[in-house]
Chains A and B, each alone.
Chain A
Amino acid sequence: MIEEIITSGRMNPEIDPMLHVWGWEIPFYLFLGGLSAGILIFSAYFTLRNRQDELPIAVKWMPIAVPFLIGIGLISLLLDLSHVLYAWQLFTNIRWESPMSWGAWTLMIITPLSIAWVAIWLEDIFPKWDWKFDEVKATIRWLKEYRRTMAQILILLSIILGMYTGILLSAFNARPFWNTSILGPLFLTSGLSASAALISFFSKTEVEKRLFTRIDIILIGIELFMIIHLFMGHLAGTQVHIQAAHMFLGGAYTVPFWVFVVGLGLLLPVFLEILELKHKFVPAIVPMVLVVAGNLMLRFIVVSAGQASRWLY
């Protein structure tokens, strides 16, 4: 057997022996970004369908969480930056080819927009809400006139936000496991799925609960389909992609991924949600926690596995 032994004298911290420059901050942010995108998409979509009174949790209540989720996500992103005092440089450039630049600008627009979106619903959900200042009242009235336009912009930006969390990783061809364009749609779908599970958990009416349980079942189905395709794509790829796939098919990530993400995070909750729809008793919190935890786990595993996969030369 011909052997090849590669010995390198390089030992740079966080680069060797295995790349580990992104810790918990990035996957945690990707999770929060995906979740925020999911919540905003549902809220804006059902507003455009004029179902705000029928689906109050999805349309009016859940978006309240978004500015906080994005805020925590941004703090987490800033914690990751090793030259953080220069972070403002993100907003002196528009780099079309850099997914990170897309993300920075999208967040820059979507954060204030999501706050405005929450603001226009506050009087609906808290009848005694008083904005106190006439200027604010006038602004809110003005914003309400453009509710549908805002919803359309929100859907577009949220899709970009949800997708970019995956594209951010897939743009790196140096890390073969990430280098698949399916990561964008996969992360968008999984963000939508986590928000559907949360909406279904918090909803008070049978109509809303059942609708979002059904939506979540469909989304989990799509996610499973995409995961299968991710591995099919890698296995039909080049040697480095095949090696990357093998990290999940017998390698170090096999158990965490198939047991925790696919088993406990997708298959078990989808089974419980189907039972729910058949009016079997399932404590509502169980599928919600499983879906959300599976979502978080998916991002942690993908970020870690990508850094462990590499070209050999």
Chain B
Amino acid sequence: MRYAMAVDTKKCVGCSDCVVACQTENNVPIGYCRDWIVEVTTGTYPQLSLEIRSERCNHCANAPCVRTCPTEASHYAAGGIVLVEESECIGCKACITSCPYDARFIHPEGYIDKCTFCIHRVEKGQKPACVAVCPTHAMVFGELDDPNSDISKEMATRKWKSLIPEAGTDPKVFYLI
């Protein structure tokens, strides 16, 4: 079982609903975020193109944060979700410096925090908060190994990319383009 997420860059309008939903659902401290919006403008005026992405931890299959963690606080949970066990984290920040996506941050309580793919919801059969609230249904979440899952269907029919795959991380968040 491999959980993954796909963000449709053609549907995402950058409204930040996912960001706020995540902060509310996961009680993210004020001033911090586990997911965020990136806008990339390319071209020469007036021929410009805009890509909007909702980004978060990529739950890499070859996660450098898990590799460099000296205490196994950063680990793979069910479905390849990368998690941080607060009570094992010493706050050395090796995982932060090893993440090419800068997806982690230091929680004000000292441990390292990041997106969990809302594992507490997924375990109950619900969607992650960001996916559930997206007003344009730009995000799909599901099992990559199940050919009938929403995400497998999207990825079978659409062109997609992942972020800096050349960093060797094997990311599990995909962008439909």
A interface residues, Cβ below 8 angstroms from B: 1-16, 19, 21-22, 80-84, 86-87, 89-90, 92-93, 95, 97-101, 103-104, 168, 171-175, 238, 306-307, 310-311, 313
B interface residues, Cβ below 8 angstroms from A: 16, 19, 31-33, 36-44, 55, 64, 67-73, 86-94, 96-100, 102, 104-106, 109-112, 163-164, 166-168
B167 touches which of A10, A13, A173 (Cβ 8 Å): A173
B73, B88, B100 — most chain A CB neighbours (10 Å): B100
Of all chain B residues, the one with the shortest Cβ separation from A86 is B90
Q: Cβ of B70 and Cβ of A98 under 8 Å apart?
A: yes
Q: How far is the CB of A76 from chain B (nearest CB, A)?
A: 13
Given A12-B32, A13-B32, A83-B89, also A104-B106 (CB < 8 A): no
Q: Which residues of B contact A173 (CB under 8 A)?
A: 64, 98, 100, 167-168
Q: Cβ of B163 and Cβ of A2 under 8 Å apart?
A: no
Q: Which residues of A contact B37 (CB under 8 A)?
A: 8-9
Q: How far is the CB of A127 from chain B (nearest CB, A)?
A: 44
A90 touches which of B90, B109, B163 (Cβ 8 Å): B90
A7, A83, A168, A306 — most chain B CB neighbours (10 Å): A83
- What is the predominant secondary structure among interface residues of chain A facing chain B? loop
Q: Which residues of A contact B71 (CB under 8 A)?
A: 86, 89-90, 92-93, 95, 101
Given A8-B36, A13-B31, also A174-B98 (CB < 8 A): yes
Given A12-B33, A84-B110, A174-B167, also A19-B90 (CB < 8 A): no
A82 touches which of B33, B70, B110 (Cβ 8 Å): B110
A5 touches which of B31, B41, B86, B96 (Cβ 8 Å): B41
In whole angstroms, what is the CA distance A2 to B44 when docked? Answer: 5
Q: Which residues of A contact B39 (CB under 8 A)?
A: 5-8
Q: Which residues of B contact A104 (CB under 8 A)?
A: 70
